[in-house]
Amino acid sequence: MLLRDVDAGDVEAYRRMRCDPVMMADLGGPMPAESVAGQLRHDLDLVARGAGLIKMIVPDPADPTAVAGTVTLHRHAIDGAPAAEIGWMVLPEHQGRGVAGRAVRMLLDEARRAGGWSPVHAFPGVDNAASNGLCRSLGFALLGKRETPFRGQVFRTRHWVLDLLA
C-alpha cells in the first residue's frame, strides 16, 4: 500500500466517496454530484498552497489509479491556535482490514518528517466507532465532546488531539 497526492484525475474516486449516503452518514450526508469537481479543485488548491496534505490510498502500487480511500490533513486555526485537522475515508469494499489505520500512520509519519503540522486534531462523530477506535489506537488523547460545525451543520463529535512532537 502507498499514499499518493490527490490529482486532477481523481474525480470518480471523489464521487464514489462523497456521493455515497453510507460513507457520508457522519459527514453531513451525500454531496450533490455537481459539487464533486469543485471539492476536488478546492483540495488541489490546498495542496498547492501548502495548506493541506490530501492523499489517496493506493492498495496496489502497480496501479496508482485504483484507490481504496483518502486520508487528509489540513491546516487551520482551532480554538484560536494554529493546528491541523485530520480526516479519513475508506471505500466499503476495503473497510475492516486495517487500511485506515495503516494509511493514517503513514500520513502522520509524513507530517512528522515535514514538520509544521502539529498538533493534529480529529473530530469523529460520537457514534463513529471505527473512527474513535482509530484515534485511540493511534495514541490521540481524548479532550472530550464538542459541537463541531461542518458543511453548514453542527455535529456532536469527540475531540481528539495528537502532539506530533512528543
Ligand X SMILES: CC(C)(COP(=O)(O)OP(=O)(O)OC[C@H]1O[C@@H](n2cnc3c(N)ncnc32)[C@H](O)[C@@H]1OP(=O)(O)O)[C@@H](O)C(=O)NCCC(=O)NCCS
Q: Which is nearer to ligand X, 116 or 141 (CB)?
A: 141
Neighbours of 125 (CB within 10 A): 17
Quote the least distance from Cβ 24 to ligand X, whole Å: 7
DSSP-assigned states of every residue in 88-151: EEE-GGGTTSSHHHHHHHHHHHHHHHH-S-PSEEE--BTT-HHHHHHHHHTTPEEEEEEEEEET
> How is residue 20 written as a grid cell?
455515497
Quote the least distance from Cβ 115 to ligand X, whole Å: 25
Q: Which is nearer to ligand X, 117 or 158 (CB)?
A: 158
**Which three-class secondary structure state does DSSP give residue 37?**
helix
Quote the least distance from Cβ 20 to ligand X, whole Å: 9
Quote the least distance from Cβ 94 to ligand X, whole Å: 6
Q: Which is nearer to ligand X, 9 or 96 (CB)?
A: 96
Binding site for ligand X (CB under 6 A): 23, 26-27, 88-90, 95-101, 124-125, 128-131, 133-134, 137
Q: Which amino acid, one-letter code, is at 162?
A: L
> How is residue 87 written as a grid cell?
480526516
Q: Which is nearer to ligand X, 116 or 153 (CB)?
A: 153
